[in-house]
Amino acid sequence: IGCEDGSVKLFEVVPGGIQFERNLDRRKGRILCLSWHPSDTHIAAGSIDVLRVFDVCSGQTVKRIMVNYHVQKVKRECVVWSIAFLSSGTVVTSDSFGRVQFWDWQQGTLHESHTVSTSAVLSLAVSQEEDSIVVGTSTGATYQFQLLPVKMGSVEKRWVRTKPFQHHTHDVRAVAHSSTALISGGLDAQLVIRPLMEKVQKKGYEAALRKFTFPHRRLVSCARKARLLLFQFSQHLELWKLGSTEQTGKDGQVLPLCRMPEHLLQLKSKGPEHIYCSCVSPCGSWVAYSTASRFHLYRVQYEGGSVSVHKVPKVPKMLLPAYQLQFSTDSDSLFVASAQGSVHVLQLLEPGGCKRLHTFQPPSGSPEAVYLLASSADGHWLAAVGGDWTIHIYNLKCSKHHCTVPTYSCAVSALAIHPVTNNLVIAYSDQQLFEFSIPEKQYTAWSRTVQNHGLHKLWLERDTPITHITFNPKNPSHILLHDVYMFCVLDKSLPLPDNSALLLNQSALKQLPENARKRQLHAFKICKKFQPLLFADLLDEKCLVMVERPIMDFKTQLPLPIQRKKFGT
């Protein structure tokens, strides 16, 4: 760990955390970046105007290299923002002068210097083969460098800037280099995956540029009975009561509200820690959230037009942080998913208390954090997904493990238990859908049909995973699910579409006569009207709530990007 006071501290990784070992040679100046040599014998550190190389065994500085220089006879500080130590002994630096430089650390000499930007180069990453480097700049541009022969058949090689990309509008603070793609994260809140076409075997989904703006986890929870929404921000929560209307209208018509949405309360998290997860009970009387080191439970009471909130004292001690929180349908219990693979069951007590009833442990003893939970409406079953992608089903009545869903090769992105059939519907990150019968401990006939027939090609090529699944109790054959860019009603009673069929066929069906319409109906009814879609849930059989988060809402809060002068302006 490099520190602001110029020290480099070594920690040993031990079970359950890290343990301080010793300090390396301390010198004047901030340590802004570090990189281990692949042999683990040396560490390179970037500072202001200088890079240093430490011998790990002795802890001493064995080389000090000045990287600053004069610009128009005015000395400026040169900040080394990022550094990489290659197995060949070459040290690669990126700095505030917009340069990427290659150093021989033993001789202290500069091999190559490339100016890629008029402003800072903030980040860099090296491929596993050490023949390609990606760098990110403060102008939002990313560049690839490749180690190529000076001429055809030559043994001598040099670093060449080969590919520029402009996928961000602000600082590119983080980059990564996989075997097939360049990955960058910007201050503009976008994660961009740019495939390297020469590394991709075939054209298709793998060769597509992908951009991610929103986290693939729930930031909104709904109290159906109380018609409340809880919004999770980085360091506070907001509880809102939904508005209502007494009028009806045609499809697509916006109805006037007889009651406006009402902001009921705001809960601020103390300290600098971000909120990991949060939830509101279906009755609206309980709110819970967790940070890295604390779990909080509140009792919310509504009297006339006023709202009061009281913190529940002496909550049970648990292994923190909690990665997911889920209230039971009857609001009598709270399920807490821990970072150590266990699930705690808390009983909620009137007028405002709780006690721990049971802690479920996976039979395998896996310490992987549980990141998704789903409970059944009858209070009988609980499904939990850990970081090893295994889905465990627990029996809440007997307080024991019931079964494990057959392991699949991709991560689970969403799951929910049907309120009528107790079938578990699972969405995976590769867009596949499965239905598992909890009582029978096996996949359902419909699930086997889906796997035999296959899902539509356009469905499988979607960029963003399903983040929420819910059901309509009045129509058991309907599954409601959504990602960031679409909302879908999946009707199990209708046939699955072939690749030759039109997947988004709602507009086309409206133009057809009734007999022709029935022949072209298929299971997927998709709506793309609401984007970006953070949350969708069924309040009752006639009411659906959607939460959009327009990208411009937070882009207007970003600092101005670096302005580059264009020719002729």
Tokens 């597509």 belong to residue:
208
Cα 416 to Cα 277: distance, rounded to the nearest angstrom = 18
Cα 48 to Cα 32: distance, rounded to the nearest angstrom = 8
Q: Amino acid letter at 467?
A: T
Tell me the pLDDT tens digit for each residue of 506-564: 878 787 887 777 778 899 999 999 888 999 999 887 889 999 988 888 788 888 877 66
How open is the CA angle 382-386-388, to the nearest 5 degrees? 140
Tell me the pLDDT tens digit for each residue of 348-399: 998 888 999 999 999 888 888 999 999 999 999 999 999 999 999 999 999 9
The predicted pLDDT at position 567 comes to 59
- The conformation of residue 255, written as its DSSP 8-state character, comes to P
* Maximum distance among all Cα pairs of the chain, rounded to whole angstroms: 84
| Position 70 confidence tier, pLDDT thresholds 50, 70, 90 | very low
Q: What is the CATH architecture assignment of 8-212?
A: 7 Propeller (2.130)
| Position 451 confidence tier, pLDDT thresholds 50, 70, 90 | very high
Q: What is the mean pLDDT of residues 112-128?
A: 94
SS3 at position 451: helix
**Complete edge-to-edge strand list for the sheet that includes strand 236-241:** 220-223, 228-232, 236-241, 262-268
Neighbours of 518 (CB within 10 A): 11
Q: Are strands 220-223 and 468-471 parallel, antiparallel or unpaired?
A: unpaired
Burial of 304 (0-12, 13-18, 19+ CB in 10 A): exposed
> Which residue pairs from 53-62 have beta carbons closer than 8 angstroms and sit at least 24 positions apart in sequence?
53/91, 53/105, 54/8, 54/24, 54/25, 56/10, 56/24, 59/22, 59/23, 59/24, 59/25, 60/24, 60/25, 61/24, 61/25, 61/27
Q: What is the mean pLDDT of residues 336-357?
A: 91
* Token pair in block for residue 2: 């490099």
Cα 86 to Cα 88: distance, rounded to the nearest angstrom = 5
- The conformation of residue 488, written as its DSSP 8-state character, comes to E
pLDDT for residue 72 is more than 60: no
Q: Which residue ranges make up each domain of the chain?
A: 8-212, 412-556
The predicted pLDDT at position 555 comes to 80
Task: Look at 2-16, 308-322, 396-410 and tell me which has the smallest mean pLDDT.
Answer: 308-322
Cα 46 to Cα 7: distance, rounded to the nearest angstrom = 12
Cα 331 to Cα 343: distance, rounded to the nearest angstrom = 17
Task: Look at 47-61, 172-186, 249-263, 328-342 and tell me which has the smallest mean pLDDT.
Answer: 249-263
Q: Quote the percentage of the chain above a pLDDT of 90.
A: 67
Cα 559 to Cα 539: distance, rounded to the nearest angstrom = 38
Tell me the pLDDT tens digit for each residue of 214-270: 887 889 999 999 999 999 999 999 999 999 888 888 887 888 889 899 999 999 998
